[in-house]
Structure 1
């Protein structure tokens, strides 16, 4: 067993790495299976995982403004009752947030926006790619598109990986140019800092010069089962028939030591003070 490898910006706090239990590559596609350790789970649950699930900084600011409008005890009680009744995030939402955090910490992903802000309802599944951002390595950026699936299914691979609606077919569609402009437009208006704008321009320049081929794809599978290379190995070979240089794809399965049904409790997003 070896530790998982990946580029990590010095500006991003480090999370204890999981243990890579399998991996391989086929052309421009690579894959790895990683067991998260107890240390990783504690560090994630204490901050970055919960932050990503609930967009906590923005949520706290919103709640502070809402509470400031309560002028009577009845109004204060009304707001408190609503907050207590708000449902926990669903396990798949927690799994998606975990993938974003780990890609940021271990694989150079740069997120310019928290997708939690775009949900119209707490249980909403937004259309389009699950992951839209930038991938920064060696001082340059590429467009990043990807998909996240969470599964407790004992089958290897689980059903979320196969079929017309499975991860591999979704990644194959993202490898084409049909949806790129829509995703790039979404990303462009959310790049608000000079650093994000510069990274975006560099990534789009690579995309244009390669005629839409120089992008980074990520396929993330979040599991609470025993690691099995069959989760990814055969699927990666299938994807490699479509994804070729200069495009790259990484399939990663993260195996958590706690049941998927309990993931929302591990991030504590309802404890907003």
Structure 2
């Protein structure tokens, strides 16, 4: 991943354009992006449970066909192409984790009661380390092929789109508190030495130390067009007038050198 443009006002308030080359994109799509879209960790746990069921049934003489069929179905499952909004989020998580010291411990697919449903509140909920301090990260993700340069794409500036959503995270304390409680519920039964729980406790201290403004708001724009700074620079300058200095602010444009229509075929190999 290469930084192709940037503005660094300080370590917590900045914007960057990140370009992935074709090889890195393929590796990313077939590896961490696919694993995120399928919740690989949970998938493997379910497979282990089913294998134990098969072993138990076989030793007692019962039919194992249904359990074996489910195992095969899970092992050969492809990523659902109808969930186009999730692939951008998965790319964003990978870029933030690998390039910007972000950490995401919980795959929100585990909470989905409706497999086609979308969560509310924020696209990204995790942590970011800035100057050796851990903060809550609340982020929004948009994917766009629209090429209307030098203007930002509509997903950035339209009513209810990314800029409005980022302002909403900053101004809506109730929304943030709900997201923090969501994280708290996932750490409740973890040991005190677990990294997830440690990050949660440290981020909570920073949040209240700055009177509930100690967190980072992040926007990630995923594009399959050539990099251009005008995609995000004017948006950043408008946002920083509304999201004040004690809160982190970061805009990232992530450029993918492969047409969006081909992403799923790469992920599903």
> Which bracket does the TM-score occupy, shorter chain normalised?
0.7 to 0.9
Structure 2: runs of 5+ lacking an equivalent: 58-62
- 1:252-271 alignment to 2 at 5 Å? 252-268=252-268
8 Å contact from structure 2 (residues 34, 79) kept in 1: no
Could you say which structure has the higher helix fraction? Answer: 2
Confirm or deny that 1:134 pairs with 2:127. yes
Deviates more, 1:222-231 or 1:134-143: 134-143
8 Å contact from structure 1 (residues 24, 32) kept in 2: yes
Matching residue of 1:199: 199
Matching residue of 1:168: 163
Secondary structure of 1:87's counterpart equals: coil
Matching residue of 2:60: none
Equivalent of residue 159 in structure 1, options 154, 159, 164: 154
Distance 1:118 1:38 in 2: 33
Kindly state the Cα deviation for residue 144 of structure 1 after the two structures are TM-superposed.
0.9
8 Å contact from structure 1 (residues 29, 236) kept in 2: no
Aligned residues: 252
Secondary structure of 1:258's counterpart equals: coil
Distance 2:92 2:254 in 1: 8
| RMSD (CA atoms) | 2.6
Confirm or deny that 1:43 pairs with 2:27. yes
Secondary structure of 2:116's counterpart equals: coil
Q: Specify the structure having the higher radius of gyration (Cα).
A: 2
Structure 1: runs of 5+ lacking an equivalent: 1-17
Matching residue of 1:21: 4
Kindly state the Cα deviation for residue 170 of structure 1 after the two structures are TM-superposed.
0.6
Distance 1:201 1:78 in 2: 39
- Call closer, same or farther: CA 1:243–1:140 in 2, change over 3 Å: same
8 Å contact from structure 2 (residues 50, 67) kept in 1: no
Equivalent of residue 90 in structure 2, options 63, 84, 97: 97
Matching residue of 1:178: 174
